[in-house]
A and B are shown apart, each in its own frame.
Chain A
Amino acid sequence: MRMHPSYEMLRPGKKFPHVWCPGCGHGIVQGAIIRAVQKLGWSRDEMVMVSGIGCSSRMPVYVDFNSLHTAHGRAIAFATGVKLHNPKLHVIVITGDGDALAIGGNHFIHAARRNADLTVILMNNNIYGMTGGQYSPTTPIGKRASTAPYGTAERDFDPCALAKAAGAAFTARGVAYNALELEKLIETALTKKGFSLVEAISPCPTLYGRLNKEGNAVKMLQWQKANTINIKAAEKLPMDQVTGKIITGIFHDVETVPYTEIYDRIIKKAQGK
């Protein structure tokens, strides 16, 4: 008989079920990350999972990699340090939309500018889930949150465009509904040299779904299914059919020299070698 393949990567001694609400997309993204690492055949000892604060940032508690649970928004800064100290490690940063783009916005753009060799999985649920549903930098304009009862007046960030503009080597977006595509994107991002970002759109049925009357977890995933277009298909469609939809796939993919290699060269130069 076949056992659940992901169980090998879960932290022994940690009680499950995990802290996320019923139907939360973060669990689906966690599964996709585990499967991507297993597919690459990397051992748990060469992986490091770094996270900040938030719903998504609970993940390193459950996955049995080397892990670092750091201050709010600063996960990318800690991860850059880990990678510089031991470039052989594969460093994954688990972060949420508020953690990466609001509290840690500066760390995010400057890690992309430096081209730090990290894989950032940004789990975007469009809201601050853990603290009670305040609107976040990715809450779409007009959508409700507990701090915007009549809808937010602010425009939202596009994290992939932001990272590309700041100098990232790889940016991609996937949705929790299409977990297999997400798994492939994460796998590609993990093997990529330089700053790679995968934005995983993850439904928050408890807060975002309830405040915006989008229904339960199943309805939110069905909405994702109906409103997601792959970038290759979107390029062929007229603009009015693409507006308001989630575009998935790889947006930006270039070969670069990562920060760790440039830093090594500087160390050698300083040593007179």
Chain B
Amino acid sequence: MAKNTDVMEARLAIEEDFKKGYDLPVYVYKPWCKSCEICVAFCPKNVLEMGEDRKPVVARPEDCILCKQCEIRCPDLAIFVTREKKK
């Protein structure tokens, strides 16, 4: 069972990962994820897959079109796109 965290702890943990060189287009903050699979099912480019721990994994990052469909539909605010679309 993952420890429950507040938004400050979440931000610090995510920023720490970014500093360590996290470079995928989608970030999953696992402590908040409840494994509902909505992000995996509604990704138009099939970028995400369910991992062995029942949390989404960014399996095909090169296919991501940064459409934010996962971000707007995640009920738990646990997944988001890490880049802005180039205009």
Contacts and interface: CB of A to CB of B under 8 A. Distances in A.
Interface of A: 1-7, 10-18, 20-28, 30-32, 35, 176-177, 179-180, 183, 205, 216-218, 221-222
A31 B18 CA distance: 23
B76 A2 contact: no
A15 B6 contact: yes
The residue among B4, B10, B72, B84 with the most chain A CB atoms within 10 A of its own CB is B72
A272 to B, nearest CB: 51
Contact of A27 (B6, B76, B81): B76
Interface string B46-86: 00000000000000000000000001111111101111100
Contact of B38 (A5, A180, A218): A218
Contacts of B83: 1-2
A221 B11 contact: no
A266 B15 CA distance: 54
Given A1-B82, A2-B80, A222-B41, A17 B34 contact: yes
The residue among A23, A26, A205 with the most chain B CB atoms within 10 A of its own CB is A23
Nearest to A1: B18
A262 B8 CA distance: 44
Interface of B: 4-8, 10-11, 14-15, 18, 22, 29, 31-38, 41-42, 71-78, 80-84
A2 B14 CA distance: 10
Contact of A24 (B32, B75, B84): B75
Given A4-B80, A21-B34, 9 more contacts: A2-B81, A15-B6, A22-B35, A23-B34, A28-B72, A28-B73, A32-B72, A218-B38, A221-B73
Given A22-B36, A27-B76, A4 B71 contact: yes
Contacts of A18: 76
14 contacts: A2-B80, A4-B77, A5-B80, A17-B33, A22-B35, A23-B36, A31-B74, A31-B77, A179-B72, A179-B73, A216-B37, A217-B37, A218-B37, A218-B41
Given A7-B7, A23-B36, A218-B37, A17 B14 contact: no
A6 B77 contact: yes
Contacts of B10: 7, 16
Contacts of A11: 7
Closest 6 interchain pairs by CB? A27-B75, A23-B36, A22-B34, A15-B4, A4-B80, A10-B7
Given A27-B76, A179-B72, A222-B41, A16 B34 contact: no
A205 to B, nearest CB: 8
A16 B32 contact: yes
